[in-house]
């Protein structure tokens, strides 16, 4: 046995030695695939493939996925045809998990969600379709429609803010589609956001064709904002485009009637002496009918009585312009009494200029007062009071030439007005004092004599006249002046002294005047 074991071991070593002693050509032959196959399987052909490897397309992974996706897609369409929309969503969702770049899968799944009224999921599906094919506008328009449906459902539930967001998204995707914009406007008005609504309508009027309906809509928004004047002008624009527009005419009629009621209330308050309350109602009437000349005339008169002269002037000028340029209102109805309104407005304007000038004069603004009176005189040159007041302004400014001219003009208009005479006397006396100061005694005597002529009851004028005559060595006339001065003021010692001087120089007796 030991010998046998020895032989086996020897044989093993022999085998090892034989193996290690193989030639190089034999080593290469052993490394070939065929040699390896024979070494392991011998001559058996059980595991040997006979001929070329067969083509099995049913075992390719891409084709398997494609077929599975197609099967799921067809199943989804079949489910939708049977109104089994939840099943369809499941089929399309599985197909998308296998092939997430097929646009039709997102489109059909979006339609299935839409049938289930799951607008959020439908919009998400169509957004993915838009992302995969941004050139196809159909997907964007369908997405806009989904947002529109979502917004309409939210609007019907009273969720106006959320609905506005959906309609806004729809408008962004399809900006030229007016229906979406109109729904946004409906949400804004339901939320009470009339200013934003008005901005939207103004934008339409600027970019789109102007229509009477748009102007009526704009007018109603102004009405909601209590902007009655703008409401009136919008309705007027609507009637220019469509003179028979019933909505515009009806709303204008309401504004006109409301304005008349407010005007009547204003007149009643003015009669009661409540000028502030009358002004409030008058403002409202002007807002309702901003082209009614009589309303501006009445309000301007109130402002004048309240001494708000600047505003009064603006209203009265507006009344004059409207009576001249707008003989008819927006409804085509003629305004009555336009000539009388125009005449009364001119009269009130002159009175306002005069009152404003008197107010300025009392506060020392003589130049401004003179300018206001000049405006009044342009409209009414036959009022002596205007020339008297402007002459006073010039006199206060030291402009005696213009003052004298105004007083003389006033005298021509009213030659028996003693107030004018007294002012002329002051002017001539002032001129005489200046001439006397310049040693022009003859000219001074003439001026003092005119002062005495216009106001012979002032003793100072006789005293001044005496001085001028005495300096001019006309002692007889000086003595006469002194006597008249003494008659007017018997207690005036200076007058007695002057008479003595004149008597001593002139000799003779001078009779009393």
- DSSP sequence for 186-217: HHHHHTT-HHHHHHHHHHHHHHS---HHHHHH
Instruction: For residue 440, name the pLDDT band (cuts at 50, 70, 90).
Output: confident
Range 138-147 average pLDDT: 95
**Architecture of the domain delimited by 372-506:** Alpha Horseshoe (1.25)
Instruction: For residue 24, name the pLDDT band (cuts at 50, 70, 90).
Output: very low
Q: Cα 81 from chain centroid?
A: 56
Query: What's the whole-model pTM score?
Result: 0.72
Q: What are phi and psi of 334, to 5 degrees?
A: -70, 135
What is the tens place of the pLDDT at every residue in 337-360?
Answer: 788 899 999 999 999 999 999 999
Nearest-angstrom CA–CA distance, 68 and 191: 51
Cβ–Cβ under 8 Å, residues 463 and 494: yes
Alpha helices by DSSP H, listed for 363-439, are: 366-379, 384-396, 400-413, 418-437
Tell me the percentage of the chain whose pLDDT exceeds 90: 60
Q: Cα 198 from chain centroid?
A: 11
Residue 31 has pLDDT above 80, yes or no: no
Residue 53 has pLDDT above 80, yes or no: no
**Summary count for the chain: helices (H), strands (E):** 26, 0
Q: What are phi and psi of 328, to 5 degrees?
A: -125, 150
Alpha helices by DSSP H, listed for 116-242, are: 119-132, 137-156, 160-173, 178-190, 194-207, 212-224, 228-241
Task: Establish how many alpha carbons lie within 13 A of residue 182's alpha carbon, considering only the half-sphere containing its beta carbon.
Answer: 6
Range 418-429 average pLDDT: 92
Nearest-angstrom CA–CA distance, 505 and 472: 12
Whose structure tokens read 């009655």?
A: 228
What is the tens place of the pLDDT at every residue in 59-73?
Answer: 566 677 788 888 888
Return the structure tokens found at 19: 């193996």
Nearest-angstrom CA–CA distance, 442 and 434: 12
Q: Which residue has the higher pLDDT, 379 or 219?
A: 219
Return the structure tokens found at 22: 């193989």
Q: What are the structural domain ranges in the chain?
A: 372-506
Nearest-angstrom CA–CA distance, 320 and 307: 20
Tell me the percentage of the chain whose pLDDT exceeds 70: 82
Q: Which of 7-16, 109-118, 202-211, 425-434 has the lowest mean pLDDT?
A: 7-16
Q: Which of 99-103, 350-354, 443-447, 474-478 has the lowest mean pLDDT?
A: 474-478
3-state percent breakdown (helix, strand, coil) of the chain, nearest 5: 80, 0, 20
Q: Which of 137-141, 185-189, 456-460, 498-502 has the lowest mean pLDDT?
A: 498-502
Nearest-angstrom CA–CA distance, 286 and 308: 17
Range 123-130 average pLDDT: 94
């Amino acid at each position: 046995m030991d010998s046998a074991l020895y032989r086996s071991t020897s044989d093993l070593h022999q085998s090892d030695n034989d193996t290690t002693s193989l030639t190089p050509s034999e080593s290469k032959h052993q490394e070939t695939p065929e040699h390896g196959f024979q070494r392991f399987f011998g001559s058996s052909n059980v595991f040997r493939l006979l001929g070329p490897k067969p083509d099995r397309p049913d075992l390719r992974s891409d084709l398997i996925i494609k077929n599975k996706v197609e099967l799921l897609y067809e199943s989804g369409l079949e489910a939708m045809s049977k109104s089994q929309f939840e099943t369809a969503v499941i089929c399309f969702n599985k197909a998308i998990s296998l092939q997430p770049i097929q646009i039709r899968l997102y489109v059909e799944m979006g339609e299935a969600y839409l049938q289930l009224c799951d607008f959020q999921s439908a919009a998400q599906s169509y957004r993915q379709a838009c992302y995969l094919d941004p050139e196809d506008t159909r997907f964007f328009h369908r997405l806009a429609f989904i947002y529109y449906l979502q917004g309409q459902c939210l609007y019907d539930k009273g969720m106006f803010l959320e609905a506005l967001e959906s309609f806004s998204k729809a408008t962004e995707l399809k900006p030229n589609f007016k229906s979406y914009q109109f729904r946004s406007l409906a949400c804004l008005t339901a939320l009470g956001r009339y200013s934003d609504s008005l901005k939207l309508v103004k934008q339409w009027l600027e970019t789109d064709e102007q229509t009477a309906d748009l102007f009526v809509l704009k007018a109603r928004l102004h009405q909601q904002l209590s902007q009655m004047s703008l409401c009136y002008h919008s309705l007027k624009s609507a009637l220019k485009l469509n003179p028979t527009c019933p909505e515009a005419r009806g709303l204008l009629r309401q504004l006109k009637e409301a304005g008349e009621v407010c005007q009547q209330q204003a007149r009643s308050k003015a009669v009661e002496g409540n000028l502030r309350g009358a002004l409030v109602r008058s403002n409202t009437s002007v807002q309702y009918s901003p082209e009614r000349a009589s309303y501006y005339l009445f309000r301007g008169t109130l402002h004048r009585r309240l001494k708000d002269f600047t505003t009064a002037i603006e209203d009265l000028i507006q009344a004059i312009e409207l009576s001249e340029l707008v003989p008819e209102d927006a409804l085509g109805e003629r305004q009555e009494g336009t000539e009388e309104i125009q005449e009364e407005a001119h009269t009130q304007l002159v009175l306002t200029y005069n009152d404003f000038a008197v107010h300025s004069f009392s506060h020392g603004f003589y130049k401004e007062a003179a300018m206001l009176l000049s405006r009044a005189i342009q409209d009414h040159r036959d009022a002596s009071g205007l020339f008297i007041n402007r002459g006073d302004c010039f006199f206060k400014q030291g402009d005696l030439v213009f003052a004298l001219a105004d007083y003389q003009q006033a005298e021509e208009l009213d030659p028996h007005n003693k107030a004018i005479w007294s002012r002329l006397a002051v002017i001539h006396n002032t001129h005489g004092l200046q001439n006397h100061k310049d040693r022009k005694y003859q000219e001074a005597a003439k001026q003092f004599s005119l002062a005495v002529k216009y106001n012979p009851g002032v003793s100072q004028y006789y005293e001044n006249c005496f001085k001028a005559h005495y300096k001019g060595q006309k002692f007889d006339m000086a003595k006469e002046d002194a006597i008249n001065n003494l008659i007017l003021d018997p207690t005036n010692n200076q007058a007695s002294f002057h008479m003595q001087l004149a008597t001593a120089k002139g000799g003779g007796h001078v009779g009393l005047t």
